[in-house]
Each structure stands twice: as structure tokens, then as C-alpha cells.
Structure 1
Amino acid sequence: MTVAAFRPRPEPVEVARVTATAGELLEVLWGRASTAPASASQMRVLLTLEHQDGINLRTLCDTLSSTPPSTSRLCDRLVAAGFVERVVSPADRREVRLHLSSRGRAFLEDLRARREQELQAVLALMPSSKRMALLEGLEAFCGAAALQIQDKAQRADDQTA
């Protein structure tokens, strides 16, 4: 039996605290890779649309926990910047679906590339075994977070139907 077998398993509250600290440190690092011309709120819209392409405004409002007027204004600015497209739903002409434009996708790709450069510099300072452990943990985290986001979106869609 290894020493690790005797180590207590961390509680979600402990892991959440460390994860939040890591998130804050990432914000500092990524401050060097500016999100301009998109604000933090607009970034949330872009990332939401990337993962839930074609959602309607109501679902986006629910996802952002925002009001329809505020969300609509955010989308207006993103449409004007060429990052988002509004498309009338083929099933219901009164409903508008939101999609990332090719310019919006290119913006996110460029932003991610700049952020990854900052991360690579930090990760290079870590021992290889710790990088592997981090990778495994983050893959599991991303899978769980994606499921939770999908579940919330499905519940929101079910409520509007």
C-alpha cells in the first residue's frame, strides 16, 4: 500500500477554494492577453454560444442569469462587432437563434492561443508528474462542468417548451 492510500481525500469545499484561487491567478496571467474588444460580459456570451450554438435569447438570458433587455443589448454590441449572428428559426419565424460568426470564432481562437502561451510559461516551471496529475484532474473537471452546463440548458429549454 502506498502513502497516498492513507492520505485523506479532499472535500469539494477545499478543492473549490484552491480552484477559485487558481482561477484568480489565471485572470492575472491572462490580463496580459487582453480580451479587448470584448468585455467580460460579452466574453460570457461568446463562450456560451460556442458551447450552445443556436440557442435563443431566453435560453441565453437564463444561462447568464440576466434580463432580456440586458442580454439583448449585449448581443446587439456583439452583432455590431461582427462576433455574433442572429438567425430566424426555420421552425418559428418569431424566434431568433444566436450563432457565433466566423469572426467570433477566430477571436476566441486567437485569445486562446495568447492565453495558452501564458499558461505554458507557468506549466514549464512544474515537475512533469504534477503536470500529468493536473491534466487528469482538469479533464475530469471539464467533463463534469460540461454535463452541468448541458443539464441546466436542457432544463431551461424544457421550461420554455
Structure 2
Amino acid sequence: MRQAEKIRYLLLAAQREGNRRLAAALEPLGLSPAQSEVLRILGDNGELTVSGVGRMLVCDSGTNPSRLIERLVQAGLIERIEDPGDRRRVHLRLTATGMAKEQETRAVEDALYEAIDGLPGAAELIAPLELLVAGHPAGEALRRRIDADPGV
């Protein structure tokens, strides 16, 4: 197996394993990893439009932000607010219940991140992975998230 092929499959396997672990940890909260990502984006950024949320989603590219958001609206976790200046624009924000669920999601993620942070060589993986995704849609979505994060 070529080095590049091994790297590709290791990245895919690590992504799938991480997503499987996250999904299992989120199951008691009644959320999928993609739904939790929407909650975290709104929790970190406050009020955004649907397209604003969509531009920051890193989850599976086949995921439709409108469907994700609709499920979260129906669950009472997100509310829609009409833009007074442009009725065609709708803003989204977390409800009180959504804020509480976002905090629970944050705790689940923090536990996963602690496990990853404890891996030998974890910090050295960041630069090559950033190079791998730079200029591509998921990499750009992540860059927008990082740029918007005041804690970075």
C-alpha cells in the first residue's frame, strides 16, 4: 500500500471512528453529530441566517442545512426571526431549550476532545491536515469557523 493511500484510509477511518463515538455520546441527548454542529455554530456565533450556518458546516457535504435546521426548529431548539429590513431573510437563534442542549453538546464534545488531546503527537497532526484541506469546501467551512471563534 502506498503511503498516500494509507494516509487516505487512516483519515477516513479516524473520521468514521470519531463520528461513531460522537454519535453514541450524543444519542442520549437525541441529537445527531450534524444537528449538534448546528447548535454549536449558533451557540458560538449567535444569530445567523440559514446560509450563514451552511457556510460554517463541516459535517457531511450531503447534509442539507435547511433540513437540519427544520428538525431543530420542530424540536424547539432553534427559532426563526424575520429580518425587519428584508422579509425574505430569516435569522436563526437558539431558544432557551436550544441553549441548554448546546451546553450539553459542548460537554459531550469536550470529553471527546480530551481523549484526542491525550494522544501522542496529536498537535503535530494539525499543520499537515490544514494543508490537506486548505482551499477545499470543508476546509473553507472550518476556516470560517476558526476565524469567527474569539477563543482562538
TM-score by length of 1: 0.54
Measure how far apart 1:121 and its partner are: 5.2
**What RMSD, in angstroms, separates the aligned Cα atoms of the two structures?**
4.2
Cα distance change on mapping 1:85 and 1:140 into 2, 3 Å = farther
Cα distance change on mapping 1:25 and 1:66 into 2, 3 Å = closer
Alignment partner of 2:125 out of 123, 137, 145: 137
Alignment partner of 1:82 out of 73, 76, 81: 76
Cα distance change on mapping 1:53 and 1:141 into 2, 3 Å = farther
TM-score by length of 2: 0.56
Contact in 2 for aligned 1:46/1:104 (Cα 8 Å) = yes
Aligned counterparts, 1:11-160, within 5 A: 11=4, 14-35=6-27, 36-50=29-43, 53-58=46-51, 71=66, 73-118=67-112, 120=114, 126=119, 130=120, 133-138=121-126, 141=129, 148-149=140-141
Query: Percent same amino acid at aligned positions?
Result: 23
2: CA distance between counterparts of 1:22 and 1:29?
11
Contact in 2 for aligned 1:54/1:98 (Cα 8 Å) = yes
Measure how far apart 1:134 and its partner are: 0.8
- Structure with greater contact order relative to length (CA < 8 Å, sep ≥ 6): 2
1: CA distance between counterparts of 2:80 and 2:34?
18
Tell me, which stretches of 5 or more residues in structure 1 are unaligned?
1-9, 153-161
Cα distance change on mapping 1:44 and 1:75 into 2, 3 Å = same
Task: Tell me the number of residue pairs that the alignment of Structure 1 and Structure 2 aligns.
Answer: 134
